[in-house]
Every structure is written in structure tokens, then in C-alpha cells.
Structure 1
């Protein structure tokens, strides 16, 4: 259990530290040693997710694999610029996951809400569908800006957006959604 927790923490650190590690590796070529360490962190994340099922787990496994592949390809091809594409991949996968759930019986946000809350009233189901749509717009916008920062080739813009601004926007979206959810709950209780 402790080993699985350590694997999960290492993988989480790889995801959160990715923009800064990439910035360091691209800005200071002598720090390319970070690439095998990042690849190892993603492999550990993949190991930590082994045995977990569900769409979200499959998406996280795919992202861990993509991170490892980008690191290994960067080492093999001696082209660290490949690392810049990970946030674009993350947003594309999340947009696909959330967007495809809009065409299924239950959206991903509804599944998460039912996991936590149990049964949902019809108003709750409609609300989770709207939240899923908002997240789709977020992933589309965030992925587009991440793509722009990759194509612009400015490592400082890339790091600023993918290492700080996108996390702040995501946190703001979580906080706003939580506040709105409390109001919606009170209205229907």
C-alpha cells in the first residue's frame, strides 16, 4: 500500500513539475538528465494506475504513457522540443473524455457526482451536463493556447501558461463551480 502511494506521489509530481522540468531541460542543456527522471516518474505513475478501471483511469494511463513516450523520444532523437507537446496531449485527451461523455447515457461529471453523492435528482443531472460542457470549453481553450505556445517556440510563454496560468484558471473554474453548486443545491433542497 505504501509503495503504491509513493508511486502515485511520484507520478503526480511528474505531472505538476512537468512545465518547470521542461523549462530547465530546454534552457540549460546540461540538465537533460531530467528527461530520464521524468520518464521514470511517468512509468511509476503508470504502475500506480495498474489494475484501476474506468474511463478516467484509462485516460490517466494514456497520459502517463504519452509522457513517458515523449521523454524517451526526446532522449532518443535528441530533440527536447517534443516535451512541449504534453499539455496539448493532456487537453486533447481530457476534451475527448469529457466531450464523448456528452453523447453517452451519463456524463463524466455525473459519474463523479454519483460516486460522491449517490442518486441525483433530474436537476442535478442537467447541472452535471452543463458542467461537463463548461469543462469541454475549458479544455478546448486551454489546449488551443498550449498549442499556440508550442508553435510560438517561446519557452518563457510556454512555461508561464502551462506551468502557472492554466493551473490558476483550472483552480478558478473548480472554485466557481463549487460555489455555483452550493447555490443550486440550496435552491433545490
Structure 2
């Protein structure tokens, strides 16, 4: 993975914490520059239209902040990311193969029908996850303090994503073992 993509990933992960601490010292308009910078970096380093579209949407949020000097649009960026991920995973369910199946086929090109069905269910589970995570992200943006918003979106949400990956891995091991012995 190129260093610039790795750095962009780290910047994206740090966004909620950076916004939280930045708003302690600067106005939302100043902090909107962080969102614009992130959007530009994302747009310039990606060849995929979906990431460029997300960058444009982030730039629109930043423009709203610049016009209003309100922090709420800055706090809606995680909601936007969850919506984009839901769109990506959901689109792949409507237009197979599912995203998880595509990833699985990188490792196992001759995926059996049971594997295709399993990857479809995993893709559906990720869709449910993004709906739930995006809803909580929206609720924390609108109803919670900046501290709670940053804690959830800059920490807890990442822990939940990790738990989702780990849980799926554990389930997959059991499914595969059952297939070999069943």
C-alpha cells in the first residue's frame, strides 16, 4: 500500500478526534478546512468514482460550515461515510457478486455455491451494521455533546467495526469446519 494512502487512512480515522480538539480552539469555519483538505486528498488519491463522490459531499458539508459557522455539518461526516459504505455494500447486493464475495474470490476463486450464499449474508450483515452505526453517528452528532460524539465516532465505532470483522472471522471458521466435516 502506498504511503500516501496509508496516511490518508490514518487521517480519516483521526478525523473525529481532530475535529473535537480543533473545535476547542478554533471556529467551525477554520475546522472546515480540515474537512476540505481530507476531501481533496481523498479525491486526488482515488481512481474510484465512489470515493470522489464522497469527497464532493464532504466538500459540500465544509461549504455549509463556511457559510453558517456551525459545527453540526462537520459532525455529520461519519454519517456520510456510513451512508456511502451502505450504498456500496447494498449496491453489490442488487448487482451481484456481492462485495464480500468479490473479496472472498481473491483468496478462493472457485467459491462454492454455499460460499456465495454465505458471503451474501455477510454483505447483508454489513449493511445492517452501517445502518445502525450511521444512525448512532447521526444521533451523537445531533443530540450528544462534542465529547460523546468524538468518543463514539473516533473510538467506539472503530471498536465495533473490529468486533464485526472478528465475529465474522470466527463464524467463518465454524462454517468452514462444518463444511469439511459435515
Output the TM-score relative to the length of structure 2.
Answer: 0.86
Give the paired residue count: 180
Greater Cα shift, 79-88 or 158-167:
79-88
Distance 1:147 1:21 in 2: 18
Greater Cα shift, 105-114 or 70-79:
70-79
Match of 1:18 in 2: 15
Match of 1:80 in 2: 71
Q: CA RMSD in A?
A: 2.2
Unmatched runs of 5 consecutive residues or more in structure 2: none
Structure 1 residue 187, shift from structure 2 partner: 2.3
Q: How does 1:24-39 map to 2 (within 5 A)?
A: 24-29=21-26, 33-39=30-36
Match of 1:168 in 2: 159
The answer to whether the 8 Å contact 1:10/1:44 transfers is: no
Q: How does 1:44-59 map to 2 (within 5 A)?
A: 44-50=41-47, 57-59=48-50
Distance 1:66 1:21 in 2: 19
Match of 2:174 in 1: 183
The answer to whether the 8 Å contact 2:28/2:71 transfers is: no
Structure 1 residue 100, shift from structure 2 partner: 2.5
Distance 1:139 1:131 in 2: 12
Distance 2:28 2:88 in 1: 34
Greater Cα shift, 144-153 or 96-105:
96-105
Distance 1:11 1:66 in 2: 17
The answer to whether the 8 Å contact 2:89/2:127 transfers is: yes
Q: How does 1:53-132 map to 2 (within 5 A)?
A: 57-132=48-123
Q: After superposition, what is the alpha-carbon deviation per residue over 1:47-67, rounded to whole angstroms, capped at 9, x for unaligned?
A: 1113xxxxxx43333223333
| Compared CA separation, residues 21 and 71, structure 1 to 2 (3 A) | farther
| Compared CA separation, residues 26 and 78, structure 1 to 2 (3 A) | same
